[in-house]
A and B are shown apart, each in its own frame.
Chain A
Amino acid sequence: MTQILLATVLGTLFALGTFLVLRRDVVRVVWGIAIIGQSANLYLVTMGGLSGGAPIASHGAHGFAEQPTDPLVQALVLTAIVIGFGTTAFALVLTYRVYEEHGTIDTYKLGGEGS
């Protein structure tokens, strides 16, 4: 059940991200990238298997977890989230800069040569 739910959520998120990336408004494009990045992270967590307890040493009955879930993907996702945070921040700053220099954040109006 969790798997079907997550698959649906993942599909929806990727679709939403793609939709936003294809918008004319640059800010929406940045949102789209952020959503695609987050859905990739969610996908990574899903790949580690969903069942099992928290992989924390002192979580279980005998000082270790019973049936812990895969902690590696969670470590990977932490790294990916940090990277995503940095790049999204940069993309937003860049968007502001584009607005300052072109007076618009409409990609159609940005598109022409020499504008």
Chain B
Amino acid sequence: MRFLRVLAMAALVAGLVVAVAGSLAYSLVIAPLLVALATAVVTLLARPWPRLGRALSVLGAGGYAIAVAALVEAVLLPLSSDPAVLTYQVSDWNAPFGITAVADPLSAFMLALAAVVVVPALVFSVLYVDEHGQALSYHPLFHFMLVGVSGSFLTGDLFNLFVWFEVMLMSSYVLVVFYSGPQHTRAALQYVVLNLVGSGVMLVAIGGLYSTTGTLNMADMARRLADPGAFGVDPAPVLGLSAVLFAVFALKAGVVPFQFWVPAAYRAAPAPVAAVLAGVVKKVGIYAVIRLYFTVFAAATIDVSLPGIAGDSVLAFYGPVLFAMAAGSILLGGVGAVARDDFEEMLAFSSIGQVGFIVLPLAMAASVAVPVAGPFASVRSLGIAAALVYSLNHAVAKGTLFMAAGATWSATGTVDLDRLGGLSESAPVLSGSVFVAGIALVGVPPVVGFFGKFLVFDAAFRSGSWLAVAVALGGAVLTIAYVTRLWNRGFWGDPGEAVGEVPPRGQVAVVGLLAAALLAIGIGFDPVFRAAGAAAEAALDRGEYIEAVEPRRYSGDGGEDHATLLLVAATGGGTARRRVRAALGRVRTTFDGAPSAVVGGSTYDTDGGSTPDHDEGSDADREVVDR
């Protein structure tokens, strides 16, 4: 028995190490994904041995950090030169036939943000969640959630994005209900129902976009929307369909009016999970908005004329919409946070408000594109960079605060501010960390929050919207109010009735480390700033994105889509005909290809249509089907 156990342990450890090393060597682009997946599977196998499972989980998180660091180095680090865009075509099926993973500066930035929060959160979990809970399924779930997050950041395919969302959500459902008390099941039920409806809506939007554009690959979609005539695409329905999709992303990001699930879910989840939900999972919604709306949908020239809104791009519509959502979030979140007497609930409302601060510069970016002086080409890239920097600030600061709330719970058994007080005496390091994270939310130098707030205000000023400046100012005042209130009632003054015991050292160390990271990023801000700038440029540089993904051009005269062509490839050619009934008009295309040509490797373009940029060379070395 003992021998078997040692053997199993050795196999699991070896498996994890091989997976990490192998994925790093195999493809940097999907390395974070593979590492997280391998860790999730290995920790699942290690469930009979809780200590081993915990060790593997921490090891896997370390591996994840290494994978992300390697990817960031490859994509972003030559900061002086042009950043690279790396792609990985799954199973070597070239885009748009297969699924593409894309690591551009924007994805790399988001992955780095995730790694900065997730690794400390996992270490904190090991110290915080009770042994029984960890032995159950905490670690596999945590890593599966990480798989979903990484996949969402990396994928270049719309339906694949849906799948990663589901992977992420399924684990988060279970993590929210992890403590399974009455409060938690109710919160989880609400969270699950909302997100399931959201999934249905997302599917509808994706189906509509597929039937409109004839593709699911994001780069291919951007290319088709940019030149609708050449592809026989009518871009008009994209506005409405993207709006349906937008509701789903807003739900994920917890922006007003889709914020109502946030406080209950965050309170129910264990503290480190709440840190990841608020810090990272929310940002997936923000990332999807930046990637899809600024990179993909903005490619289309659509005549937008609604009451009070006019323009020739979908962004003209999203400018005011994003602004209204941001203003609502900032004010509702701020007012809600000021009124709370519960540490965690205050943090949950605060994260609604802070997401408003992330969306506000995006609204500026969507509505104004005038060139500006300084390091950014236009208000548009400035706004996106501001949103990214603020996302990083919020992720780390809110991660610190949620874990601080967890450590407070460990020491006092409560997070009720009425029963707390004077923690700065009994827990100086913990209180110092809360202070640093608090001023990061407020935006005081030298913490990174200062630069975040500064860029948000800069974007608001430069876009010339005084209303935006006023909203941001009001939000800043509310932030000061609730941070001050938290500090005064929880950490200052006489000790409360529950205060006395010293919080566990390990937990405090993790919180302190994250707070130190806030300071460090603030002091050494230049590389982060340049990375955010590169990410913003990458989000707007559609040509580079399309070029990197390199979707094959297979249609000279209209509406074939890859389904037909896959079929042609799979059946060895012949006649394949597909009818598309799009929302407007009917596109009918015929394809005739000779079987020999297909088997030989040169595929569907043989006589299908005029393909000016068709590259014979790349065709020859691509094996299509070998029957």
Binding site for B on A (CB under 8 A): 3, 17, 21, 26, 29-30, 33, 36-37, 39-41, 43-44, 46-52, 55, 57, 62-73, 76, 79-80, 83-84, 86-88, 90-91, 94-95, 97-98, 101-102, 110, 115
Contact = CB atoms under 8 A, between A and B. Distances in A.
The 3 closest A-B CB pairs, nearest first, are A72-B563, A64-B571, A47-B211
Contacts of B580: 49, 70
Interface of B: 159, 162-163, 166, 170, 173-174, 177, 180-182, 185-186, 188-189, 192-193, 196-197, 199-201, 203-204, 206-208, 210-211, 216, 561-564, 566-567, 570-572, 574-581
A102 B186 contact: yes
Contacts, number: 146
Contacts of A55: 563, 567
A36 B563 contact: no
Given A97-B185, A101-B182, A43 B207 contact: yes
A57 B587 CA distance: 24
A48 B563 contact: yes
Contacts of A50: 581
A33 B197 CA distance: 6
Contacts of A84: 199
A55 B571 CA distance: 10
Nearest to A62: B574
Given A29-B193, A68-B578, A70-B578, A90 B170 contact: yes
A83 B204 contact: no
Nearest to B590: A67
B428 to A, nearest CB: 34
Contacts of B562: 72
Contacts of A57: 570-571
A64 B572 contact: yes
Contacts of A69: 578
Most buried by A among B166, B207, B562, B579: B207
B574 A64 contact: yes
A87 B199 contact: yes
Given A51-B579, A55-B567, A101-B182, A70 B203 contact: no
A43 B211 CA distance: 11
B166 A83 contact: yes
Majority SS at the chain A contact face: helix
A31 B208 CA distance: 24
22 contacts: A33-B196, A47-B211, A49-B580, A52-B579, A63-B572, A69-B578, A70-B563, A70-B578, A71-B567, A72-B216, A72-B566, A73-B207, A73-B563, A76-B159, A90-B174, A91-B193, A97-B177, A97-B180, A98-B185, A102-B186, A110-B186, A115-B182
B564 A70 contact: yes
A36 B159 contact: no
A72 B158 CA distance: 13
Nearest to A87: B196
Contact of A68 (B177, B204, B567): B567
A47 B212 CA distance: 9
Contacts of A67: 576-579
Contacts of A46: 207
A112 B393 CA distance: 35
A102 B182 CA distance: 7
A7 to B, nearest CB: 12
B595 to A, nearest CB: 9
A102 B181 CA distance: 10
A105 B196 CA distance: 19
B182 A33 contact: no
